Structure 1
Amino acid sequence: MDRNRYELGLYEKAMPNNLTWKEKLELTRKSGFDYLEMSVDESDEKLARLDWTQKERDHIKETMIETGVPIRSMCLSAHRKYPLGSREEAIRKRSLEIMEKAIDLAYDLGIRIIQLAGYDVYYETGDETTRKLFEKNLKKSVEMAARKGVVLGFETMETPFMDTVEKA
């Protein structure tokens, strides 16, 4: 297969968490990858990225330019804790806030794709209600992403909700 026909990214969580952004980007290149995939999971540390100041975002952009390695995708798994399909309105509101902030961060950093975990809910039991709430909030999310030119994609998961490409 001709390696020049496609690009491969390295998932941030494949590296030690104590590395700086510059070290992560340099290691990405040294390992033969073309770009880095950023993680925004449910931890406070990763969720805090959504509230980076413009100065912090500019520093990341400068580091990408300096190393020649972009961050082209984001794995947004924070919705495990704050699912789009939650029965609790406060959690759904937080899930949409996370989505909006993730889209804004992606836009600011030049990230093209946000990968979503294919769960309607994770720590709750899913049913028809959670599926419908998920679909409703996914539509809102797609509209937000479209306004910023960011693509949302799904990662299939181990639950019946989205365990095949066909369901995604």
Structure 2
Amino acid sequence: MLSKQIPLGIYEKALPAGECWLERLQLAKTLGFDFVEMSVDETDERLSRLDWSREQRLALVNAIVETGVRVPSMCLSAHRRFPLGSEDDAVRAQGLEIMRKAIQFAQDVGIRGIQLAGYDVYYQEANNETRRRFRDGLKESVEMASRAQVTLAMEIMDYPLMNSISKALGYAHYLNNP
């Protein structure tokens, strides 16, 4: 739908629940939207998307082609449950594995950008160690995403770690990556 001057999109969670992406994209098109942002949150249902088979991924790509409604971005909020800043090595490793899978998924289906939440930990108490682990995990994530030609974007949150543009820019400068 490139006829509009400014494309208009909708977040997946604003549409009725269900796993049929063809129906979801058809509805978005009927409502006048040009794109849908996919959600991969901390629920097992949405996390399982990262383990979709080749056929399931192709079904999404085919739905995009059939409807003309793009899925250019993913909101990856699964790190709320599996934070990159976790002091528990197993939880942090799972967070990094989720990141790896999300980047691969994005590359496979044509998602160009993955939005991350700007917090080191969510359900635990933050400290200098959680911030260091988050920063290191973010650095590793940016390297993975760069190799896959996928952009990572940081959402500024109502959370001390990343609650301003200047703090987000601080991470961009640290990572030497805009």
Normalised-by-shorter TM-score class: over 0.9
Structure 2 partner of 1:122: 122
In the TM superposition, structure 1's runs of 4+ consecutive aligned residues that sit over 6 Å from their partners are: none
Distance 2:26 2:164 in 1: 34
Counting aligned pairs with the same residue, the percent is 52
1:67 aligns with 2:42: no
1:143 aligns with 2:143: yes
Tell me the amino acid that sits aligned with residue 10 of structure 2.
Answer: L
For 1:102-131, what per-residue CA distance to the aligned partner results, in whole angstroms no more than 9, with x for missing partners? 000000010000000111000011111111
1:33 aligns with 2:33: yes
Alignment TM-score, normalising by the size of structure 2: 0.89
Q: What SS does the corresponding residue of 1:122 show, helix, strand or coil? A: coil
Cα separation, partners in 2 of 1:112 and 1:48, compared to 1, 3 Å: same
Distance 1:18 1:59 in 2: 14
Give the total of aligned pairs.
166
Alignment TM-score, normalising by the size of structure 1: 0.94
1:163 aligns with 2:151: no
Unaligned runs of 5+ in 2: 169-178
Structure 2 partner of 1:89: 89
Cα separation, partners in 2 of 1:19 and 1:140, compared to 1, 3 Å: closer
CA-CA distance at 1:6 after TM superposition: 3.3
Tell me the amino acid that sits aligned with residue 133 of structure 2.
Answer: L
Unaligned runs of 5+ in 1: none
Cα separation, partners in 2 of 1:123 and 1:68, compared to 1, 3 Å: same
